Structure formats: structure tokens, C-alpha cells
């Protein structure tokens, strides 16, 4: 642990100096030295990530060793723990482990983890994080997971691969991932038939060229991850899991068609984008026996409406108040009538126009209600959130 403490001491020093206003140049040139593992530039990067990682990792983030790429792509703890439970086994090989977050959660649930990483710096981050959390059932291998030298050493029940991706790539494909999933699948099928992948959640289903269960993960009502489970790990064709509640909808659930609404009914329901991306809206409706209609389906927002109240982690419920023509004058009139005090905009609007438009609506309001404003075509829909 001496090595961990030394790196920790340096990073905390950089964090403190940065917060006191010292410039990057001064810190690097006069106040920090290279270590045997990391350059001073990498240490500074790690310190900057430490300052921003609490939002994603909670209190744990204030202790983790991460660089920019690791902070951006590492799996959030709730998802990492859920996946570790789903893939629990005797020996798991994480063949593109990065800074080791998912591998560490695997190690918390399984007998042994083999962590492979081509980038030697990231592998050192993984080792530090494992030592920090006192994880002792991990074996680390530095090398290319597709090389005979590496895959010849892998003896595992389950193989997991979270390939890196190019941030600038507009259309996600398997060819744009590293290591390429098709090559991983071809090589590691000789090791085990239980292979799982992390894929970009926005990849089109026709670009997923390996048979398996596509599991879309929602974290706090936002699409966050897509996993592909192959072989015996596959339970259905498509599924969606909502965290932290772990409500699940699958393509095996009964389907129920949802017709188009002519007008809003007593309740509105915003649908988790994860359900829409997974194309499981009718399965969700069938599972909860939804009796209602589709009010709007858009790229960023899907709304259902019903005269009945339904509960699901994949639905955000609102009480319908009123509707009117979508104009500032008409909306303001209705806001006054429903005793509104604040307005939340629930439609697509240029970020630079958001506050200007909202202030125009809220000017002179003194009511008690926080009103959610939706736009359906040329109609404004006013609703109040129902907390459940």
C-alpha cells in the first residue's frame, strides 16, 4: 500500500494547489515530480479527474485513480454491481478492463477475475484501484487481448469485453470498437461460450452483428448502457433494466398495442428513453396492463396518456392540468388560471433560449404549483408531476 499512499499524496497535493489557484504550468514545472509509474502530466490529469468524479462515483470517486478517458467511460457503481451479479461466476476475464472499475465489481461477486489491458498506464490505474479497495482475487495481464500470448493464458467461465470507442464517430458500428467484438467473439469462443460485451447504447440494432440478448440499462431515467449477452448468458432477445429499482421489461413480456390519443386524459406518462430505444413500449404496456394512448413519440420524448394511474420505474407520471395553443400569451393565461409559480420546459428548445423563454412565462406568477410544460405539435400541455 506504500505505492498507493505515495500516489494518493501527490494527487491530493495537486488538488489542493489547484483549488488554491496555482496554474497548471506552475504546478507541473515547480511543484510536482514524475514518479516511477506516472509522468507529472498524467498525475495532474488524474488530480483533475479526482475533482470531478464524485458526480459519477459518489464518495468513492474522491478516492479512485482515473484519467480523462476512464472518467468518461468507466461504468457507474450501480451498473457495475448489477452486472457483476448477473455475470457472477468462478472465474471472469475482463479483457479490456481500463481503469478496472467493472473488473473490481466482478471480483467482489466472483471467485477470481483476470484483468487484461493493452495500455500499461490504464493497467496501473486498475492495479491502484484494486489495492485501494483491498481486492486480492485479481490477476493482471498487460497485453493485446487478441494476441495468442494473452488469450492462450485465459482460462475463464465468462469473458467480458468493454471495448473503447472513438468519441467523434457519428454512427456507431462494431468495426469502430477496439478490440473489435467480432474478433473477440471468434477467438474467445474457444475459451468459453459465455461471452458478454459492453456496446455503445446508441448503436443501431442492425449493427449488432452477434447473436445475443441486448440489455439496455437505464440509470435514473436515462439510457446509460447497452450490454450484449451471448450463448447461455442470453435470456431473451431484448431487455431493459431500470436502476436503482431493477424493474425489468423483456421481449418475452406480452405485447399490448397502444393507440393514438385524440386529446390528453387525466394522467400523462413520460416514457424512459431506454424503453423507446429498446423498442419495448408495447411490452411495457403489456406487462403493466396499460390502458391508455400514445400522445406523442419523438426523438427525445415519448408521452402516454390515460384516465388511470399506473406505476413503473420506466414511467414518469403527471397529472394533466390543461392545454392550449402554443403561444406565450395563451400559455401565460393558463398558468395564471392553474395557480402556477414555476414552469419547467419539457420540450426541445435551444439551450441558449431556455431561460429567456422560461422567464417570459414565469413573469408575474406567484402561485404554488410547479408546472411542467410539454409541447405536442402546436399545442401546449400543462401538467403537474406526481411523485410516487
Sorted by where each starts, the structural domains of the chain and their CATH numbers stand as 2-49 (no CATH), 71-210 (3.40.50.150), 259-385 (3.30.2130.30)
Kindly report the number of other CB atoms within 10 A of residue 34's CB atom: 11
Nearest to residue 376, comparing CAs of 273, 285, 304? 304
Of 335, 339, 317, 323, the C-alpha closest to 267 is: 317
Sequence-distant (≥ 6) Cβ neighbours of residue 289 within 8 angstroms: 256
Task: Give residue-wise pLDDT tens across range 113-146.
Answer: 999 999 999 999 999 999 999 999 999 999 999 9
Sequence-distant (6+) residues with CB within 8 A of 369 are: 338, 339, 340, 341, 342, 384
Q: How large is the greatest C-alpha to C-alpha distance in the chain, in angstroms?
A: 72
Cβ atoms 290, 281 nearer than 8 A = no
pLDDT class for 167, splitting at 50, 70, 90? Answer: low
> Tens of pLDDT along 55-107?
888 888 888 999 999 998 889 999 999 999 999 999 999 999 999 999 999 99
What's the angle, vertex CA 275, arms to CA 274 and CA 277, rounded to 5? 65
Task: Tell me how far apart the alpha carbons of residues 89 and 92 are, in angstroms, rounded to a whole number.
Answer: 7
Which one has a higher pLDDT value, 212 or 40?
212
Please identify which residue in the block is written with the cell numbers 448477473: 86
Q: How far apart are the first and last CA of the chain?
A: 46
pLDDT of residue 27: 85
pLDDT for position 192: 97
Lowest-confidence segment of 23-37, 135-149, 188-202, 310-324 by average pLDDT: 23-37
Mean pLDDT, rounded, for 218-230: 97
Q: What is the pLDDT of residues 226-250, one digit of tens each?
A: 999 999 999 999 999 999 999 999 9
Query: How far is 174 from 208, CA to CA, in rounded Å?
Result: 7
Whole-angstrom distance, CA of residue 146 vs CA of residue 119? 14
According to the model, what pLDDT value does residue 220 have?
94
Q: What is the mean pLDDT of the chain?
A: 94
Measured over the CA atoms of residue 338, residue 342, residue 346 and residue 348, the dihedral's sign is positive
How far apart are alpha carbons 83 and 100 in whole angstroms? Answer: 14
Cis peptide before 244 (omega within 30 of 0): yes
**In angstroms, rounded to a whole number, what is the distance separating the alpha carbons of residues 33 and 48?**
16
Contact, 172 vs 203, CB < 8 A? yes
* HEC assignment per residue over the chain: CHHHHHHHHHHHHHHHHHHCCCCHHHHHHHHCCCCCCCCHHHHHHHHHHHHHCHHHHHHHHHCCCCCHHHHHHCCCHHHHHHHHHHCCCCEEEECCCCCCHHHHHHHHHCCEEEEEECCHHHHHHHHHHHHHCCCCCEEEEECCCCCHHHHCCCCCCEEEECCEECCCCCCCCHHHEECCHHHHHHHHCCCCCCEEEEECCCCCHHHCCCCCEEEEEEECCCEEEEEEECHHHCCCCEEEEEECCCEEEECCCCCCCCEECCCCCCEEEEECHHHHHCCCHHHHHHHCCCCCEEEEECCCCEEEEECCCCCCCCEEEEEEEEEEECCHHHHHHHHHHCCEEEEEEECCCCHHHHHHHHHHHHCCCCCCEEEEEEEECCEEEEEEECCC
C-alpha dist (Å) from residue 69 to 66, 72, 219: 8, 5, 20
Looking at the predicted structure, is the pLDDT value of residue 205 above 90?
yes
Q: How many CB atoms lie within 10 A of CB 104?
A: 24
Amino acid at each position: 500500500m506504500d505505492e498507493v499512499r505515495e500516489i494518493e499524496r501527490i494527487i491530493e497535493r495537486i488538488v489542493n494547489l489547484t483549488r488554491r489557484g496555482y496554474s497548471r504550468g506552475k504546478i507541473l514545472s515547480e511543484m510536482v515530480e514524475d514518479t516511477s509509474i506516472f509522468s507529472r502530466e498524467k498525475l495532474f490529469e488524474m488530480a483533475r479527474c479526482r475533482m470531478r468524479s464524485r458526480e459519477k462515483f459518489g464518495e468513492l470517486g474522491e478516492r479512485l485513480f482515473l484519467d480523462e478517458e476512464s472518467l468518461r467511460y468507466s461504468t457507474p457503481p450501480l451498473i457495475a454491481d448489477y452486472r457483476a451479479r448477473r455475470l457472477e461466476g468462478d472465474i471472469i476475464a475482463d479483457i479490456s478492463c481500463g481503469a478496472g472499475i467493472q473488473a473490481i465489481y466482478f471480483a467482489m461477486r466472483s471467485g477470481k477475475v483476470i484483468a487484461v489491458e493493452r495500455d500499461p498506464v490504464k493497467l496501473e490505474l486498475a492495479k491502484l484501484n484494486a489495492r485501494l479497495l483491498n481486492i486480492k482475487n485479481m490477476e493482471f495481464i498487460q497485453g493485446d487481448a487478441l494476441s495468442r500470448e494473452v488469450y492462450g493464458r485465459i482460462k475463464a467461465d465468462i469473458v467480458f469485453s468493454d471495448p473503447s470507442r472513438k468519441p467523434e464517430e457519428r454512427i456507431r458500428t462494431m468495426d469502430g470498437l477496439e478490440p473489435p467484438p467480432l474478433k473477440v467473439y471468434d477467438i474467445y469462443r474457444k475459451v468459453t461460450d459465455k461471452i458478454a460485451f459492453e456496446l455503445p447504447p446508441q448503436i443501431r440494432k442492425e449493427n449488432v452483428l452477434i447473436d445475443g440478448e441486448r440489455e439496455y440499462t437505464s440509470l435514473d431515467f436515462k439510457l446509460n448502457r447497452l450490454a450484449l449477452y451471448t450463448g447461455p448468458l442470453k435470456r431473451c432477445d431484448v431487455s431493459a433494466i431500470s436502476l436503482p429499482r431493477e424493474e425489468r421489461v423483456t421481449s418475452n413480456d406480452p405485447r399490448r398495442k397502444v393507440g393514438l390519443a385524440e386529446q390528453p386524459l387525466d394522467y400523462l406518462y413520460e416514457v424512459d428513453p431506454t424503453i423507446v430505444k429498446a423498442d419495448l413500449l408495447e411490452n411495457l404496456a403489456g406487462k403493466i396492463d396499460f390502458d391508455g394512448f400514445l400522445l406523442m413519440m419523438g426523438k427525445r420524448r415519448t408521452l402516454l396518456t390515460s384516465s388511470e394511474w399506473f406505476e413503473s420505474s420506466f414511467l414518469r407520471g403527471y397529472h394533466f392540468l390543461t392545454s392550449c395553443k402554443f403561444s406565450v400569451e395563451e400559455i401565460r393565461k393558463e398558468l395564471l388560471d392553474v395557480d402556477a409559480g414555476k414552469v419547467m420546459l419539457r420540450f426541445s428548445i435551444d439551450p441558449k433560449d431556455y431561460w429567456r423563454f422560461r422567464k417570459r412565462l414565469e413573469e408575474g406568477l406567484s402561485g404554488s404549483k410547479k408546472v411542467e410544460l410539454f409541447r405536442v405539435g402546436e399545442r401546449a400541455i400543462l401538467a403537474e408531476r406526481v411523485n410516487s
